Each structure stands twice: as C-alpha cells, then as structure tokens.
Chain A
Amino acid sequence: MQKSVFFGTFAAAGLLAGMASAATLEDVKARGMVNCGVATGVPGFAFTDASGEWDGFDVAVCRAVAAAVLGDGKKVNFVPTTGKTRFTALASGEVDMLARNTTWTYSRDVDLKFTFVGVNYYDGQGFMVRKDLGVTSAKELDGATVCIQTGTTTELNLADYFRINGMSYEPVPIETNAEAQQKYLANACDVYTTDASGLAATRATFETPADHIILPEIISKEPLGPLVRQGDDQWADIVRWTFNVLVIAEELGVTSANVVEMSKAPTNNPEINRMLGTEGEYGAMMGLEKDWAVKAIAAGGNYGEIFERNIGEKTPIGLARGLNAQWTQGGLLYAPPFR
C-alpha cells in the first residue's frame, strides 16, 4: 500500500535521527571515514599545505583518531568550521569530533552538552600590537580599537578585562582569523587579540613579523582541547585515550620511528606493552583492534613529535613548550596511567 510505505519512511527516518546521537563508533566504521571539525585555517594548527593536504597540530589529533579506529590516518574528512559554526556542526552530528583550538569552559561542557576529552594545548589570551605604537603593556590600551574573532571566549575575556581595569575599547568583531588579520594589517585596528598561540601563528605569516609585539599580559586561561558530543561515552573514551596515548608515548620514549619495532615483541616496560597491545586485551575494551595505539602513534608521532613538527621552536610559529611540556619536565602535560 502506498500509505504504509509513506508512514514506513517516516518511521525509519525518525528512528535514524534518534540513533544518530549514539554509537558514533559504528557510524565511523560504516562510513570508513572520521568527520573531524577543524579551524578554517590557522598556520601550524590547522591549514592545508602546498599539495592541498590538511596538516597541523590540531589536524594531527584527527589523524591519530582515524588511525586508531580505521587503521589509516588519511581516512579523515576535514570539515572547516568557524568560531561560530563549530558547536552547531558537532551538536548536529555533521562532525564526529572537533579539534580546533577550542577552550574548555564550564558552560560548553555542562550547558552545551559536550565532552572535552583533554587539553592538547594550554594557552592564554594575549594581545598583539605594532611595535611603533610604543605600547609595552596591555594596561596602556585604554581607548584602543581591538579586532576579535566573534563567538569565542576571547570576546568575553576581553570585555571582562577592560571592565575590571576601568578601560574602554572599541571592539571590531570579525568572523575569521584571515579577515581579522587583514583588518589588523591595514591598521583598521590597533590590537589583535586571541590565544597567544594563535597570535604567534598569525604573526609568523606576516611579511615583517619583527614589527609586531605580543604584549606580556596573558589575561586568561585557555585550555584548548578536542571535544565530542555528550552521551556517547565509548566514542569519548576513544578520542580521549587516543590523545592520552600520544602523551604517554612521549613520556615513555615511544616515537613514530620505534613504535612498530617496539610493538613486535613485549619490552621490559609493562605500560608500553599494555599500550602497544603486546600484553593484555586493552584494545578490545574500547571496541578497537589490538594495535590501535601503535597505529595512532605511527600516524603522526607522539605528542612531542607533533608539537615540534608543527608549532615548535624550529618552525616559523616558534612556540616554546612552556606549560605544554611533560609533567616530568615542569609542564602541565600529565596523562593518566595506561593500565
């Protein structure tokens, strides 16, 4: 009957829509691709290289997850999102995870119903100005015109900072990093403010980076990290532990160069053995292959390797490890034990 087909379709569509929020792992496996939301273009963090391939510090997290789940770091469908569109993309299921310098905040975690799986970069909001302005401190910025990316935590921090310090400013809200950069370079705003790592990354692309300084004040805590939808704990665990494995690998000296060698036979370190699947059945606990961690590490290297290659001191971005060093090196990077 015509009628039953019609209602059948409705019922099926309703069921599918209901199920889309759970069992992301099944969806990803069926699709053969991880849909990963990244920034529209931040040098060092998420950008397309000369050959059109996505690369960067945040992109590496997506690739590691794809490698852990599907065995191939290339099986990622990158979805560029702006500060404004990112949460809608994740909440609606357009992407399976976000890895785009997004600050972990209370309301995002609790009210927006997301789960932050960790912090891949400890950052803080800073200010960049032209050197010839003669400004040496953020306290001297009273009356300045400030370019901000709209829909970000920086926007709110900025308002708080100027209010607390009794200063006024003229906000120029801009949609993307590129547009804000163009305004700042044209001197249509005195100050560009965003996370200090973003400022360093942006400055690295300027013709004369030395003409611009990043003011010493860091006015906020910006723990940036990957996040997933709340309610699918299995998928959250997968993304969380893929990231943790990259951190543990650095701590234990497992690199992209030696990981395959180390995974062939048990080593004398039981934590490495458990992680690389030569001891116990840890992969199966999450619904993954035995060697998921091996593939994740082999895809782009451990946390340290990813950092050095994309944003480290030898790159044009030139960020020091600072807070992002391992806890054993005086930093904040501390992954729970793999056992």
Chain B
Amino acid sequence: MAATTDPHASESFRIGMLLYDTRYRSITIQIIALVLFMLALGWLVTNTISNLEALGKTFGFGFLWTPAGYDINQQLIEYQNTDTNARAAMLGILNTLLIAVMGCVTATLLGVVAGVLRLSNNWVVARLMTLYVEGFRNVPVLIWILLFAAGINESLPAPNAFRGDNSDASMVLGSMAFTNRGFYVPEPLFSRSLGTLDVNGYFGISLDLILIVLVLVASIWGVRRLAAHATRRQAETGDRPKTFWPSVGLIVLPQVVVLVALGFHLGYPALKGFNFQGGIHMRDSLIALWLALSLYTGAFIAEIVRAGILAVSKGQTEAASALGMRPSWTMRLIVLPQAMRIIIPPLISNYLNLTKNSSLAIAVGYMDATGTLGGITLNQTGREMECLLLLMGFYLIVSLTISVVMNVYNERMKLKER
C-alpha cells in the first residue's frame, strides 16, 4: 500500500475534526458518554453520602460485630441469639446456598424428564407434561411458594394429632412423621463417632462425614481404574470384561465397613412436648420453597431441553435407527449429547434465576440471607444501605460463581472443531 497516499495526511489536525471527521467521531462520542456516565455515578455517590449525613447516619460495618439478639430456626452451623450479626448473616447465607443446591438439582431432574416426555409419542404423557410446563411457567413463583406452604399447613395434621393411643394421625413406617410444621425423618447417628473438627471456633465439620466422603472418593477412583482396565482389555482382546457387579461392590462394601466401624444407627423422631424431637426436621418452609422453586424452574428447564432436542437434526435419529439402535439409546447416546450444547447456556441463567428467586423465602418464614441480613439485621440495626450492599454483594458473588462454573462446563461440552 505504499503507492497510495492518504489524502488527509497533509492536512493539519483541527479541533472541529473530532466532530466532523468520521475517523475521530466515534471515539469522541464514546469519551463524552464515558465522562457523562462517570459524572452521573459521582453525583449518585455524593448525593447518597450527603443525604445520609443530612439524616445524621454514619456509614460503617461495625454493626456486624454486635450481638444479633434474635433466633434462627434452621441452623446449619451452631448459633445462639447472643452471637453476632455477621454470624446470623452467615447462617442465612448457608440456608440460601442449601435451598439453591437442592432446588437446582431437582429442577434439572424434573426439567430433563419433563422436556423429554413432552416430545413423547404417547399423547396422554405429552399433554400432561404440556399442562405441567404451561401451568408453572405462567404463574408467578411467589404464588406457587405460598400455595405449597398453605397446602402443607392446612392439609397435614399438626403434631398434636399424633398424641395418644387413639390418635388421628400416625407415623409412616413408625419412623417418619408428616406434619404441618414439616417432615420429621430418622437421622443417621454414630455410636462410635470420631467427633467434630473445630475450625477456628467458627464452625465444626463432622469427622465421620469426612471419612465417609474420603472412602467414597477412593471407591470412585477404584471404579474408574476398573473401567480403564476393562477398556484396555477390550482393545487388546476385543472382549470387554463385565464390570458392573465389581463396581457396585467397590462402592458399597467399603461404605458398609466404615458405617459398621462407626457404629451407625438411626435416630427416630418422637413426640415430646409441643413438637417431635430427634430425627431430621425438614421445615414446612423449606419443603414449600424447595418444591415451588424446583417445579417452577423445572418447567423452564423442560422447555430448554425440548428446544435442545428439537434442534438436533432429525437425520441423526434416523441414522441411529438405521443402525438398529434402540430409541432409548438413541436419546441417551446420540440426541442428548448434541442437545446439551444448546441446553447448557440457557440452563445457566435458570440456575441463576432459581438462586435469586430463593430470596422470596421470607414469605413462608424460611430464614435465608434475605431473611437474616436483609431482614431482621437490617431492621433491628437500621443499616439499610450497608445491609443491602452486603446482600447485593453476596448474590453477585453467588451468581458469578455459578456462571463461571457452568461456563467452564460449557467449554468442555462445546463442539470441538479441529
């Protein structure tokens, strides 16, 4: 390009060119927009500070270390009402994470099943799934949460009804009680427990659980080695050894040994005083929130799964049938793996939605992060600004983490083009 000369090169630069010369105009506009945006942001901040000052309020996070003074019913780690607001917030955060994980898992299962079944050739099954998907997608999730909570509260018997020899209600299998205050189920107990590992006095981790998980990880590693061995044998001899029962044995036997060694037994709930005591108490609020969020998000996931499946060329299915593959195998081995590439990106946003929707928990009295930090702490200390900033920071971090993890997964599932 040495031969051509720039017609403007000889012209000297003038200020007006920033506006009239197409080479500079877009940059000029962007810089102006940026300056305006920064000005607006600056104004917002200074205005907030001056307004807080006018109200005589100071900005600070010292309140986090003062006693909270209120009780929280669902405690995943130790907590007393004399503990700090920060710890109360921590409990709420754990409760939010619990409901988010439980919800995402069940919503995915429900969504995949419903999405596949909606494409079923069976008219009744397909219509039933349509009914489920459209029903849940088109009604606000808060209404579903309240409906499930009211359903549990109004239709199930109160713990009182289990009292006496001739009681109105009885426990299922003698060990589980379904009451309007939640479900009481047996809990695992260890008579030769290893105790708990105290982490800096903040919370304890059960050593029993660590042992069980470690053994399970070792078992899974063994199963994978077994599968690798089988593949090698298949490559060498063309004959694949049976690995199913050895794999099951590898997983189950070490667990049984560990459980017996720890003295595993079940603790049954029993009616004592006003409520059932002992066992695991799944609160009505937890169940209502979990069901509603799972079913609601599941309906959205079902549509994503359906769209993903429909996007896989019909020729793939036909080719698979031509090879004599069973329909269930075709779905599992041919269609779903290809559909996954389309499904995963919108799936990420549904996980994010479910996590954020869990903040509706206070409607049924579930103490999540919004209930503790953004609810009671905010109200009792009057630190709206600080609490809401912390709460926004928390949801931002959780959302970004989900995004990052799912995007990494997406990268791995993406079509590898070479």
Q: Which A residues lie at the B interface, using CB under 8 A?
A: 10, 13-14, 17-18, 21, 83-84, 87-88, 91, 107-108, 111-113, 133, 141-145, 150-151, 155-156, 158-160, 162-163, 169-175, 179, 182-183, 186-190, 229-231
- Please indicate the chain B residues that have their CB under 8 angstroms from the CB of A190 in the complex: 274
- Please indicate the chain A residues that have their CB under 8 angstroms from the CB of B82 in the complex: 163
- Please indicate the chain B residues that have their CB under 8 angstroms from the CB of A142 in the complex: 273
- Please indicate the chain A residues that have their CB under 8 angstroms from the CB of B56 in the complex: 113, 230-231
Q: How far is the CA of A155 from the CA of B62 in the complex (A)?
A: 22
* CB of B371, distance to nearest CB on chain A (Å): 7
Do A171 and B379 have beta carbons less than 8 Å apart?
no
Do B54 and A18 have beta carbons less than 8 Å apart?
yes
Please indicate which of the listed interface residues A14, A21, A144, A186 has the most CB atoms of chain B within 10 Å of its own CB. Answer: A186
Count the A-B residue pairs with Cβ separation under 8 angstroms: how many?
A: 121
Do B71 and A169 have beta carbons less than 8 Å apart?
yes
- Closest 5 pairs between A and B when the two form their complex, measured CB to CB: A151-B379, A143-B273, A187-B158, A112-B382, A159-B81
- Please indicate the chain B residues that have their CB under 8 angstroms from the CB of A17 in the complex: 47, 50-51
Do A21 and B81 have beta carbons less than 8 Å apart?
no
Do A111 and B382 have beta carbons less than 8 Å apart?
yes
- Counting CB contacts under 8 A, is B306 at the interface? no
Q: Which B residues lie at the A interface, using CB under 8 A?
A: 39, 43, 46-47, 50-51, 54-57, 69-73, 81-82, 150, 153-154, 158, 160, 180-181, 272-275, 277, 284-285, 362-363, 365, 367, 371, 375-376, 378-382, 384
Q: How far is the CA of A162 from the CA of B81 in the complex (A)?
A: 10
- Please indicate the chain B residues that have their CB under 8 angstroms from the CB of A87 in the complex: 379, 382
* CB of B342, distance to nearest CB on chain A (Å): 40
Do B275 and A145 have beta carbons less than 8 Å apart?
yes
Q: How far is the CA of A231 from the CA of B53 in the complex (A)?
A: 11
Do B275 and A155 have beta carbons less than 8 Å apart?
no
Do B376 and A173 have beta carbons less than 8 Å apart?
yes
* CB of A18, distance to nearest CB on chain B (Å): 6
* CB of B150, distance to nearest CB on chain A (Å): 8
Q: How far is the CA of A88 from the CA of B388 in the complex (A)?
A: 12
Q: How far is the CA of A174 from the CA of B146 in the complex (A)?
A: 12
Q: How far is the CA of A189 from the CA of B153 in the complex (A)?
A: 10
Known: A143-B277, A171-B72. 15 other contacts (CB 8 A): A10-B43, A17-B50, A18-B54, A107-B381, A108-B382, A113-B55, A143-B272, A145-B181, A151-B379, A151-B380, A158-B71, A163-B82, A173-B367, A188-B180, A189-B181
Do A163 and B382 have beta carbons less than 8 Å apart?
no
Q: How far is the CA of A21 from the CA of B378 in the complex (A)?
A: 22
